[in-house]
Structure 1
């Protein structure tokens, strides 16, 4: 059974996380937070140490949502090819998945926190590494079980794949043109299909 204080804290995090994600750490004002939550400054900061800690907890909340979804996509039944293609297919609809979150937490918090918030920047970097590690783990198993062959080490391949995906997300966000996302996914499916079987 959760206490009233715990429920209030959870409500604050879920409400303000998309705001921090959309407006950035510096761009998010106290009035943004009080208007969205309907709470006073005292009520918000009675639950959290300061703006920095609230922003970090907000990122961690969104990060968990994203990592859970990536685990779900990589955890489907089937061999490593099926799992990687399932993940890539998820990114075809990624812009819709992140809309209620205020955008892509990795890109938004990651770029915004550079030079503004060292703890947030470190948390974003750690999240990138964690996702790349999850992809690399599936690839490594695929190589070990003889399901796929790769031209480079699994982690290097995972980093390159994740770079492609995030570049497409960034261009989609900047231009509002989904073709950047859809065309990149189509290209990756073709490229990876060839890479998995050629070497």
Structure 2
């Protein structure tokens, strides 16, 4: 990798941490230069604007979390286990989140809802991708006979993501992992009672 590309990737990685903790609006270009040790001229050699950095940073943060989710899911053999793996990745969200600052999708969605259409669009695409991944897992669970044949796949995907993001938000706000952990237990019980096909 050439020096220029290394520098660009370094700026993106550091900006991703900054934006995910302080938000896009709460972070200035001066914050990025201070964090990276690179002057504004050096930043602008690689990026045309703060927006471009933000888009790249969001993608980078998503890729880091996505890799951890993919690994956790790959360790599970059942569809139920794979759905629960999403939540387990955030089980220690307060002190050890998969990416510094918490969930990039949640943080970006909340901040950009009314203030930044470009970031909002990227958060929407990430949401769609996450739901599609969950629906694929659920569909495979139905096809294998693990889940009930008449299960509402889209509703379960939405529900599972909602309790994950809600648990993350509440645990982060309170500074205690108990909310995400309670949601893990509650979701596991729900899957067992409402979604699993009864043995014939």
Aligned to 1:67: 66
**The residue matched to 1:89 in structure 2 has which SS?**
helix
**Please, which runs of 5 or more residues in structure 1 have no aligned partner?**
none
Tell me the secondary structure at the aligned position of residue 25 of structure 1.
coil
Decide whether aligned partners of structure 1 residues 90 and 177 sit closer, same or farther in structure 2, where only a CA change above 3 A counts: same
Per the alignment, residue 153 of structure 1 pairs with 152
Distance 1:85 1:100, change over 3 A: closer
Output the aligned Cα RMSD: 1.9
Give 1:113 shift.
1.3
- Provide the residue aligned with 1:122 in structure 2: 121
* Matched-pair contact (CA < 8 Å) for 2:83–2:160: no
- Tell me if the contact between 2:92 and 2:177 (Cα under 8 Å) persists in the aligned partners: no
- Structure 1: distance between partners of 2:180 and 2:83: 17
CA contact (8 A) 2:93 2:172 kept: no
Higher percent of residues as helix: 1
Deviation at 1:114, TM superposition (A): 1.8
> Which residue of structure 1 aligns with residue 102 of structure 2?
103
Query: 1:155 offset after TM fit, Å?
Result: 1.9
**Contact kept? 2:12, 2:60, Cα under 8 Å:** yes
The unaligned stretches of length 5 or more in structure 2 are none
- For residues 168 and 149 of structure 2, the distance between their equivalents in structure 1, rounded to whole angstroms, comes to 25
1:43–1:111 distance in 2 versus 1, CA, 3 Å: same
Q: TM-score, normalised by structure 1?
A: 0.91
Would the alpha carbon gap of residues 150 and 24 (structure 1) be closer, same or farther in structure 2, given more than 3 Å must change? Answer: farther
Residue correspondence of structure 1 range 109-188 to structure 2 within 5 A: 109-149=108-148, 152-188=151-187
| TM-score after normalising by structure 2 | 0.90
Deviates more, 1:171-180 or 1:149-158: 149-158
Q: Between Structure 1 and Structure 2, how many residues are aligned?
A: 198
